Amino acid sequence: MSISTNLKQVWEELPQGVRLVAVSKFHPNEAILEAYRAGQRIFGESKVQEMNVKHDSLPADIEWHFIGHLQSNKVKYIAPYVSLIHGIDSFHLLAEVNKQAAKAGRIIDCLLQIHIAQEETKFGFSPDECRQMLAEKQWQALTHIRLCGLMGMATNTDNMNQVQLEFTSLHDLFNEIKTTWFTNAPWFCELSMGMSHDYHEAIQAGSTLVRVGSHIFGERDYSAH
Ligand SMILES: *Cc1c(COP(=O)(O)O)cnc(C)c1O
């Protein structure tokens, strides 16, 4: 199946209000251009250096979403152009994004990453850490970031009941945080969840941004890196 065929299949499955982040990490520019020509505009990358090279060499109207683990000392390289950072996992990182956004004369949209999986390796706030960070209110002084919602990754398992429960718990937390802190903030409306193997479950649980890579571009070749 070609990239454009795969893309069209995913688009047709998306309900109104759910957007696709085409995760192009480890795939070359030609693959991104094929998706671009088919009409895809949002691409997700997880490495700063790789996203910078692609941003510099690909069409300017691509929206680049950073979906990986972001180190504070690298924020400055993507601040001038990134359109959404999915993986904010500490107040320290949020403050650094704010600082670099101010330097770039921008307001950068961010999602708080919540740890919902059972695996230990996934980054993110626990629900309580997130509640506590918000309750401390320091984030309210950051005028160059805009909190737009939450992001999470389910456990990598074939047990789709568990995946469904994890996504539902993230949606519940989103509702709680929305009503506690963001009732007058219509931009706090994004729930980034769902990858190639679980985006159907994520959509059922209320996802607004699915991050799909291998289902569109094929398997990633890590050996070249
Ligand atoms: C790589 C990645 C994806 C896409 O994974 P696929 O299984 O290829 O769809 C989605 N989200 C994050 C955070 C990723 O790192």
Number of domains the chain contains: 1
Domain range spanning residue 152? 3-224
Is residue 52 within 8 A of residue 78, CB to CB? The reply is yes
Nearest CA residue ID for atom 4, ligand 1: 213
Cα(43)–Cα(102) distance, integer angstroms: 24
Where does the chain have alpha helices with state H?
3-13, 29-38, 48-57, 75-78, 91-103, 127-135, 160-181, 199-204, 214-217
Ligand 1 contact via 156 beta carbon (within 6 Å): no
pLDDT digits (tens, 9 = 90+) for 36-69: 999 999 999 999 999 999 999 999 999 999 999 9
Mutate which of 195, 197, 210, 220 for ligand 1? The one with the most ligand atoms within 8 Å of its CB, which is 195
- Gyration radius from the chain CA atoms: 17
Give pLDDT, residue 24: 98
| pLDDT tens readout for residues 161-205 | 999 999 999 999 999 999 999 999 999 999 999 999 999 999 999
The least confident of 29-33, 99-103, 121-125 is: 121-125
CATH of the domain at 132: 3.20.20.10
